[in-house]
Amino acid sequence: MKALAQISTFVGKTFAAWVVLFAVLGFFFPDTFKQIGPWIVTLLSIIMFGMGLTLSLDDFREVVKRPFDVTIGVLGQFLIMPLLAVLLTKLIPMPPEVAAGVILVGCCPGGTSSNVMTYLSKGDVALSVACTSVTTLAAPIITPFLVWMFASQYLPVDGWAMFMSIIKVVLVPLALGALLQKLLPSFVKAAVP
């Protein structure tokens, strides 16, 4: 367990460098990274499971303590980001499937990477985690609606299928991680720094 905690700490501290490194490698060697394609859903589920392992009631207490701040963060995530994505698709000529992808990314919640970036930039991590928790739980409803509203002009959007996919890939692994944290807290504490 100690080795896992050390690896986790190292990756967390060097996260920005890993993102840049793999973005550059993916740009120059796209065929190498295409092999990861079939594993994307599994990898996202693992990330959400990991987020569930780190969630606590304190994350949600922050919502009650600072409702205005959390509301601003959540509205920023679900209004500003999608609108910026739509603006990009209007300003930059792109194929319809790329435009729909840009809008999809703009409509998705930030996830754990936003918490890591907030931590690395010495920002308000408690607020970031609270906003991430709320947007992640709201995503199954809000994300399909926003994608349908903004991207259906480019491609057909099946809101129900997207809702079910988000439940399977986001909420179920998140709930399983939180459940494991409750059932085996000493194991989780040893594995998650």
Those residues with Cβ within 8 angstroms of residue 135's Cβ, 6 or more apart along the chain or in another chain: 73, 74, 77, 78, 109, 110, 142
Number of Cα atoms under 13 Å in the Cβ half of residue 12? 14
Instruction: Say what percent of the chain tops pLDDT 70.
Output: 93
Predicted confidence at residue 179, as pLDDT, reads 85
Contact, 89 vs 105, CB < 8 A? no
Ranges of each domain in the chain: 42-183
Q: What is the pLDDT of residues 5-46, one digit of tens each?
A: 677 778 777 877 888 898 899 889 888 888 888 888 888 888
Predicted confidence at residue 87, as pLDDT, reads 96
Contact, 138 vs 95, CB < 8 A? no
Residue 192 pLDDT exceeds 70: no
Burial profile 66-80: b = 16 or more Cβ within 10 angstroms, e = fewer: beebbeebbeebbee
DSSP state, residue 135: H
Contact, 155 vs 100, CB < 8 A? yes
What is the rounded average pLDDT for all residues in the chain?
84
Q: How many CB atoms lie within 10 A of CB 89?
A: 22
Lookup: tokens for 155: 């491609």
Domain 42-183 has CATH 1.20.1530.20: yes
Alpha-carbon distance 152 to 1, whole Å? 47
Predicted confidence at residue 109, as pLDDT, reads 85
Residue 83 in 3-state DSSP?
Answer: helix
Contact, 154 vs 100, CB < 8 A? yes
Q: What is the pLDDT of residues 52-75, one digit of tens each?
A: 777 777 767 777 888 999 999 999
Place of tokens 């600072």: 66
**C-alpha distances out from residue 19 to 22, 45, 98, Å:** 5, 19, 21
Highest mean pLDDT among 38-52, 91-105, 117-131, 177-191: 91-105
Alpha-carbon distance 128 to 54, whole Å? 13
Predicted confidence at residue 191, as pLDDT, reads 65
